[in-house]
Structure 1
C-alpha cells in the first residue's frame, strides 16, 4: 500500500477569502481520507490536503474537492498528487 496526498489550491476572488475558506471546509468527500487539513495563505488562497491509502499509487481513483463557482475564485483550481517516499 502507498500513501497518496492530494493537494487542492484555489485563490479567492477579491474580498471572498473567508467565503472560499468556508466553502472548502464544508465540502464533503464520498469517502473518508486518512487525514484532511485546510490552510489559508496570503492573497486569499486556500489549500486543502487529503491523505489516502491505496494500492494503485498515483494512478488511484481518489475523491477530490470540486471546482468552486467561478464567482468565488480568480482562476481555476490547482491540483497536484504526491506519493509518500518515506
Structure 2
C-alpha cells in the first residue's frame, strides 16, 4: 500500500523563501519512496512524502518549523493511494 503524508505551512509575512529553504533542509530518519516540495500564493509551503506502508504505520514526518517562520501551526494530512492512472 502507498501512503502519502502531506505537510503544509504558511510563512510569516515576507519569510516564504526562508520557510521553503527550511523545509528543504529537513532530513527524515528514513527515506520515503518519493518527496516533493511545492509553494503557493500567500507564502504557503507544501511537502508530500510517499511511503510503502500500511495506512496507520508510524512514519517520520517533518517537524514544526521555528515559530518565527510561520503564522500558524502546520497542517498535516495522511492519504491512502487507491489507484494510479
- TM-score, shorter chain, exceeding 0.5: yes
Match of 1:19 in 2: 18
Unaligned runs of 5+ in 2: none
Q: How does 1:1-86 map to 2 (within 5 A)?
A: 2-54=1-53, 57-86=54-83
Calculate the TM-score normalised by the size of structure 1: 0.95
Q: Secondary structure at the match of 2:63?
A: coil
RMSD: 0.4
Looking at structure 2, the residues matched to 28 and 65 of structure 1 have their Cα atoms a distance apart, in angstroms, of 8
What number of residue pairs does the alignment pair up?
A: 83
Secondary structure, aligned partner of 2:55? helix
TM (norm. structure 2) is: 0.96
CA separation in 2, counterparts of 1:36 and 1:12?
20
SS in 1 for 2:12: coil
Q: What are structure 1's unaligned runs of at least 5 residues?
A: none
CA–CA separation in structure 2 for the residues paired with 1:67 and 1:61:
17
